[in-house]
């Protein structure tokens, strides 16, 4: 039998946590043969609710779930974890300044970075979901210098999946037949959903470009982009709560592809530490197209970037550079 993998979920008493932990316990994250031990962290005001989630996990009698640690102690939560999904954070409340929210999250991610660095298993893979996701991941990276930077990422897979969904609806094709969209940049409304390299597999088996099939550049360069960028707000408007099941599902997709590999000929979007590819400033956590193999991602190289796209890649990079500066100003 395989050794269980320890998976940390922070903010586990929250909305995304509630959707995510049963997916992990069912094998959605690492496949149906991989036992898991869940580590769930939340803060003291949520301790009782966290314990309720633990009770429900027991009640669900998941065969793959070999143990549950539910705690408000960050050291206990981080000890021995192989995968860390960081969902906990300080939400923006009405009337709060951006700087105040940033400051709260910077101190959370600084502290949790140290705990992971000291107590997680060697080669722990980290996915930051909590917003501002890219910048939280950057702070985590800076304060966990012994964790290789290639092990730290943030979630833009939800945006990627939203883009696939929009194309699938527009063309009336199965979403599984659409691939190779790209989310560039920040997980925010400046992100650039790019379909210039995306394709659809037709019933005949032939692959055709999305641009050719949609044959409506005005829609692709306009409404499509804003719909994906604003989808989070549309969900909040409809549900009075932010995306949770789709975020949890995307987090599983992100980790699964990272660990088990992306299918041949397919790439996905991940927020990763920029090495300067595509002239994106190095030293930002920026969403790129990546392929994964043997547990490591690499940025897809050599894709053409037209003038329209270039402007959008730069705009979202500028926002991330500003966020980085704001985060650093909170540290001093």
Token pair of 185, please? Answer: 């940049």
327 binds ligand NAI (CB under 6 A): no
131 binds ligand NAI (CB under 6 A): yes
What residue ranges in the chain does DSSP mark as E strands? Answer: 5-10, 36-41, 65-71, 83-86, 125-128, 152-154, 178-179, 182-184, 192-194, 199-201, 207-209, 268-273, 285-293, 296-299
* Catalytic choice (39, 160, 187, 254): 187
Which residue's CB atom is positioned nearest to ligand NAI? 14
**Binding window for ligand NAI (CB under 6 A); candidates: 81-89, 195-203, 276-284, 296-304:** 81-89
Judged by beta carbon, residue 200 or residue 270, the one nearer ligand NAI is: 270
24 binds ligand NAI (CB under 6 A): no
Burial 303-330 (b: 16+ CB within 10 A, else e): bebeeebeebbbebbebbeebbebbeeb
Give yes or no for a contact between 4 and 229, defined as CB atoms under 8 angstroms apart. Answer: no
- For this structure, is 187 an active site residue? yes
Judged by beta carbon, residue 191 or residue 262, the one nearer ligand NAI is: 191
Judged by beta carbon, residue 202 or residue 236, the one nearer ligand NAI is: 236
89 binds ligand NAI (CB under 6 A): yes
Q: Contacting ligand NAI (CB under 6 A), which of 22, 23, 43, 201?
A: 43
**Binding window for ligand NAI (CB under 6 A); candidates: 11-19, 54-62, 93-101, 252-260:** 11-19
Task: Return the DSSP state at 185.
Answer: B
185 binds ligand NAI (CB under 6 A): no
Judged by beta carbon, residue 199 or residue 316, the one nearer ligand NAI is: 316
Give yes or no for a contact between 139 and 113, defined as CB atoms under 8 angstroms apart. Answer: yes
Residues 6+ apart with CB under 8 A from 71: 39, 40, 41, 77
Q: Can you spell out the DSSP letters for 94-111?
A: TT--HHHHHHHHHHHHHH
Residue matched to tokens 């985060």? 327
Q: Contacting ligand NAI (CB under 6 A), which of 31, 63, 91, 145?
A: 91
Judged by beta carbon, residue 137 or residue 178, the one nearer ligand NAI is: 137
Of 330, 275, 332, residue with least CA distance to 104: 330
Q: Show which residues are catalytic.
A: 187
Give the binding site for ligand NAI (CB under 6 A). Answer: 10-11, 13-17, 41-43, 46, 87-91, 108, 129-131, 133, 155, 158, 187, 242-244, 247
């Amino acid at each position: 039998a395989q050794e269980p993998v320890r998976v940390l979920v922070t903010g586990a008493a929250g909305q995304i946590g509630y959707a995510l932990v049963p997916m992990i316990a069912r094998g959605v994250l690492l496949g149906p043969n991989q036992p898991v031990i869940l580590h769930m962290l939340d803060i003291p005001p949520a301790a009782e609710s966290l314990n309720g989630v633990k009770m429900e996990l027991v009640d669900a009698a998941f065969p793959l779930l070999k143990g549950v640690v539910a705690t408000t102690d960050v050291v206990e939560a981080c000890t021995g974890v192989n995968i860390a999904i960081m969902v906990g954070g300080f939400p923006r409340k009405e009337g709060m300044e951006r700087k105040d929210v940033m400051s709260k999250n910077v101190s959370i991610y600084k502290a949790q970075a140290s705990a992971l660095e000291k107590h997680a298993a060697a080669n722990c893979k980290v996915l930051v979901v909590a917003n501002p996701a890219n910048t939280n991941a950057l702070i985590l990276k800076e304060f966990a210098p012994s964790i290789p930077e290639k092990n730290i990422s943030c979630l833009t897979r939800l945006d990627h999946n939203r883009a696939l969904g929009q194309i699938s609806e527009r063309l009336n094709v199965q979403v599984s037949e659409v691939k190779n969209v790209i989310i560039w940049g920040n997980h925010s409304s400046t992100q650039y959903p790019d379909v210039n390299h995306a394709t659809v597999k037709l019933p005949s088996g032939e692959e055709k470009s999305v641009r050719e099939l949609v044959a409506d550049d005005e829609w692709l360069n306009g409404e499509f982009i804003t719909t994906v960028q604003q989808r989070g707000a549309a969900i909040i408007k409809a549900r009075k709560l932010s995306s949770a099941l789709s975020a949890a599902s995307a987090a599983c997709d992100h980790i699964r592809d990272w660990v088990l590999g992306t299918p041949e000929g397919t790439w996905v979007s991940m927020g990763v530490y920029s090495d300067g590819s595509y002239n994106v400033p190095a030293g930002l956590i920026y969403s790129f197209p990546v392929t994964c193999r043997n547990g490591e991602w690499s940025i897809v190289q050599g894709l053409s970037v037209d003038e329209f796209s270039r402007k959008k890649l730069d705009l979202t990079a500028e926002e991330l550079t500003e966020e980085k500066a704001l985060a650093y100003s909170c540290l001093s």
